[in-house]
Each structure stands twice: as structure tokens, then as C-alpha cells.
Amino acid sequence: MHKIIFLDRDGTINKDDGYTNKVGDYKLLPNTIKGLKKLQSQKFKLIIVTNQSGIGRGYYTEDQMHEFNNHLLNKLKQENIDIKEVLFCPHTPEDNCNCRKPKTKLIESYFTPDFDKNNSYVIGDRASDIELANNAGIKSVLVTTGSSENDPESNSNPTFIAEDLLDAANKIQNA
């Protein structure tokens, strides 16, 4: 059985300055490396799931997003952290697509018979991340490193609330 952590990117792994897309804007949040290593040591597959409406809004291109993601993945790889895949939605909320969180289309390909639904999580800083977990029938951790305090819909009832990814990893380990 595969246990998976579906990770939001901006505000969860890296600092979210709004439509983060330039390699020069790259800045990991505190305890990100320690948290990801701890999750990996618990035998979780790590997958990033991110809404990137800046593409649909014309603020940056898909190529710029891939350049940022590749930089992020390379920095994490230098720390022996293996992100299996980056899944993204390029659409705006007004597009009403099926791949934008909190809808589950981006992660449905992982819902295979060997997916350990009872021991998998979504970790993110917004209500849409927690609602993705709820819609998928898996557990969730709301980290307070990003937009959660400013999120008007932040009453989505996460399984846990954590200060950062290390705190999230500790809560998951002790669950």
C-alpha cells in the first residue's frame, strides 16, 4: 500500500509572495527540509499539488512555472528529498475546471487499489487544500505558514493544524 502526502506549494513549502513564479523569488519556509525528510522517513510518497491561476491570468507562463518548479525540486533533491511529481492547475477560479483544488481531478490517478487512503494526507495553507482532502476522503493538515489566517473560508475542519511542515510531520507520526 502507498501512503501519499499531497503537498501544496506556495505558503506550505515555499514563501508565497503572490503568484510566485521567478527563480529569484525562491525561499523555503522554516522547517521545510526537516519536515519533508521526516515525512519521507515515514515512507510517504511526496507529491506537490498546486493551483497556478497566474498562468490563466497571464501573469506568467507555464514555462516560467516549470522553471521555478525545477529549481525547487533540484534544491530539495540536494537535500535527498524526492518529490515524485508536481501536479498543477493553470486555470482561474472563473474557468470552473475540474482540476482546480478543491476538486479532486489532479490527484485521482493515484486512487488505485494500492493507495492507502486511510494513511494519506493533504498538507496546505488554505481552505481549498483542506477541502481537497475532504472531497478525496483523506486526512488533512492545515499549516499556518501561509495564507490560512487570511483565508475567509478557513473553517474547513482539518484533521490537524500545524505551525509548519515539521510540526505537521510530527503530528502525522504521532497520530
Beta-carbon contacts of residue 8 (< 8 Å; ≥ 6 apart) = 48, 49, 50, 101, 122, 123, 124, 125, 126, 129, 146
pTM: 0.94
| Whole-number pLDDT of residue 94 | 96
| Whole-number pLDDT of residue 156 | 75
| Whole-number pLDDT of residue 149 | 54
Secondary structure (H, E, C), 33-81? HHHHHHHHHCCEEEEEEEECHHHHCCCCCHHHHHHHHHHHHHHHHHCCC
| Whole-number pLDDT of residue 110 | 95
Cα–Cα dist 132/124, whole Å: 10
Which residue out of 8, 151, 164, 167 is catalytically annotated? 8
Spans of all domains in the chain:
7-125+135-149+160-173
Which residue out of 10, 16, 129, 167 is catalytically annotated? 10
- pLDDT of 25 higher than 80: yes
Cα–Cα dist 130/55, whole Å: 23
Residue of 153, 152, 149 lying closest to 161 (CA atoms): 149
Clarify whether 10 is annotated catalytic.
yes
So what CATH class is 7-125+135-149+160-173? alpha beta
Q: State the average pLDDT over residues 39-55.
A: 97
Cα–Cα dist 39/25, whole Å: 25
Confidence category of residue 148, pLDDT binned at 50, 70, 90: low
Clarify whether 63 is annotated catalytic.
no
| CB of 51 closer than 8 Å to CB of 89 | yes
| Whole-number pLDDT of residue 97 | 96
